[in-house]
Chains A and B, each alone.
Chain A
Amino acid sequence: MSVARVSLQPAFVLHHRPYRDTSALLEIFTPEFGRIGLVARGLRSAKSRLQGVVQPFCPLLVSWSGRGELATLTGCEPSGMLTRLDGARVLSGFYLNELLLRLLHRHDPHPALFECYAQTLHLLQQPDMEQRALRIFEKHLLREMGYALMLDHEAESGVPIEPAEMYSYHLERGPLTCAAGAYAGIRIQGHSLLALLNETLHDAASLREAKLLMRAALGLYLGNKPLRSRELYIDFRKSRALSPSPSSSPVLENAL
């Protein structure tokens, strides 16, 4: 079997953990190869120049060689502007990474999702975009996994969604008018469904309803194990709420 060599593939580091004395195991996300595992030999040694470069949320160009579950990192350089997520937004970033690690299989390419991930990180750096960015990412993630949510018409009759109508969303079927759905499922306004469809989530009500819908939909595929980044996020919001003098960093929305 020949050894595959890939050079300068755009990538983000999703996760890294120490391995042996000076090496590290990386999970990276690439457009053409999907999520892959790499061994970075000597990454943590004193002489390594890459240590500051191989960090989550930074756009990178990565080279590696080898086949199978773990390939070997052969090169890595930063590409484009550095993404700097400040202390609180980093938690949303961890959330994105945890979703990708839990829901994507290795070696399963999702070029459109890679694009969307980069865009989401960019949006997270801007004020007041956190919730919207996360919901749009979750929607794309579900679609890439093959479980796209039906957002444009009623599941039973096929009638287009009415903004003023109240729907009850059944995850296996789609939105039903409240009469047909007999109030089971997740209640969501037609307006919010359309806002999620068109990625125009602006008002608090749509954001809240979209959040609950997405949490339930992702919950189907995440299983029983809780998302640790979400727990940390909620913890952090609690400790933040106690603070009498708000810090200079942006307000942490109730986004997860």
Chain B
Amino acid sequence: MPQDSLINDLIQALRCLPGVGPKSAQRMAFHLLERNRAGGRALAQALTAAMDNIHHCASCRSLSESELCRLCADPRRDRGLLCVVETPADVLAVDRATDYKGLYFVLMGHLSPLDGIGPNEIGLDKLAARFDSGGITEVILATNPTVEGEATAHYISELARARGIRPTRIAHGVPLGGELEYVDSGTLSHAFSGRRDI
């Protein structure tokens, strides 16, 4: 079906979203045009505003619309603690699940030499500068428990240790409510070697 170029442009533009193929993009485009023009306009405005005004927080590299993000600017948070995570979504996850009251640093990835991602690509130069600026007593390494995440945690722990900061790593283990029989062997052996007194 030959389509006007504006409709085509809209369909093509919607395909930049993850998991949206030609068919879904077409469905979304027709839905907005036929049934929800107001919603479409609101979406366009929200997108423009967000794209123009959201950038990385100067302190933690997370996404923020002001110079410092809400968490970094909050005077009630403990400035002696720094939790290092891979993505902004991890910040939300930790913040929701724990009563952690310190600050965050978001790497936006992990070390992955085979993809050409080295220390500077994930902002470790900035992190080191932050360590140097003083005031931090403990750095909590909450990178993912993958091989790359572990390598990243190890690298940062050396940066911290060199500056007299205590590095700690989040524990890995059996999920709550899980059954040992169905836990993969890597997790189980980690949990076993990380056992503690009760």
Q: Is the interface of B mostly helix, strand, loop or mixed?
A: helix
Whether the Cβ atoms of A98 and B184 lie closer than 8 Å is no
* Minimum C-beta distance from B31 to chain A (A): 21
Whether the Cβ atoms of B114 and A239 lie closer than 8 Å is no
* Minimum C-beta distance from B13 to chain A (A): 19
Chain A residues, CB < 8 A from B119: 232, 235
Given A21-B19, A57-B147, A87-B151, decide whether A235 and B184 contact each other with a Cβ distance below 8 A. Answer: no
Q: Once the chains are docked, how many angstroms separate the CA of A91 from the CA of B114?
A: 11
Binds A, one of B4-12, B72-80, B84-92, B159-167: B159-167
Which residues of B in the span 118-170 have a Cβ within 8 Å of any Cβ on A? 118-119, 146-147, 150-151, 153-155, 157-159, 161-162, 164
A195 within 8 A of B: no
B189 within 8 A of A: yes
Given A52-B184, A53-B186, A228-B113, decide whether A86 and B161 contact each other with a Cβ distance below 8 A. Answer: no
Given A87-B154, A236-B155, decide whether A17 and B115 contact each other with a Cβ distance below 8 A. Answer: yes
Whether the Cβ atoms of A98 and B113 lie closer than 8 Å is yes
Binds B, one of A162-170, A199-207, A240-248: A240-248
A15 within 8 A of B: yes
Which residue of the partner chain, among B19, B147, B153, B162, contacts A55 with CB atoms under 8 Å?
B147
Given A91-B151, A240-B158, A247-B161, decide whether A82 and B186 contact each other with a Cβ distance below 8 A. Answer: yes
Whether the Cβ atoms of A243 and B158 lie closer than 8 Å is yes
Whether the Cβ atoms of A229 and B161 lie closer than 8 Å is no
Chain A residues, CB < 8 A from B115: 17
Whether the Cβ atoms of B118 and A55 lie closer than 8 Å is no
Q: Once the chains are docked, how many angstroms separate the CA of A27 from the CA of B151?
A: 20
* Minimum C-beta distance from B154 to chain A (A): 2
Whether the Cβ atoms of B113 and A88 lie closer than 8 Å is no
The number of chain A residues with a CB under 8 A from chain B is 40
- Write the chain A residue with the least CB distance to B160: A243
Given A88-B154, A247-B157, decide whether A78 and B118 contact each other with a Cβ distance below 8 A. Answer: no
Whether the Cβ atoms of B162 and A78 lie closer than 8 Å is no
Chain B residues, CB < 8 A from A17: 115
Whether the Cβ atoms of B186 and A239 lie closer than 8 Å is no
Whether the Cβ atoms of B184 and A239 lie closer than 8 Å is no
A47 within 8 A of B: no
* Minimum C-beta distance from B2 to chain A (A): 30
Given A49-B184, A239-B159, A243-B162, decide whether A97 and B19 contact each other with a Cβ distance below 8 A. Answer: no
Whether the Cβ atoms of B150 and A82 lie closer than 8 Å is no
Whether the Cβ atoms of A231 and B118 lie closer than 8 Å is yes
Which residue of the partner chain, among B147, B150, B158, contacts A236 with CB atoms under 8 Å?
B158
B53 within 8 A of A: no
Given A240-B158, A247-B161, decide whether A20 and B118 contact each other with a Cβ distance below 8 A. Answer: no
Chain B residues, CB < 8 A from A49: 182, 184
Chain A positions within 8 Å of B, measured between CB atoms, are: 14-15, 17, 20-21, 49, 52-53, 55-58, 78, 82, 84-88, 90-91, 93-94, 97-98, 101, 228-229, 231-232, 235-236, 239-240, 242-245, 247, 249
Chain B positions within 8 Å of A, measured between CB atoms, are: 18-19, 111, 113-116, 118-119, 146-147, 150-151, 153-155, 157-159, 161-162, 164, 182, 184-187, 189
6 contacts between A and B (CB under 8 A): A21-B18, A97-B114, A232-B111, A239-B155, A239-B158, A245-B164
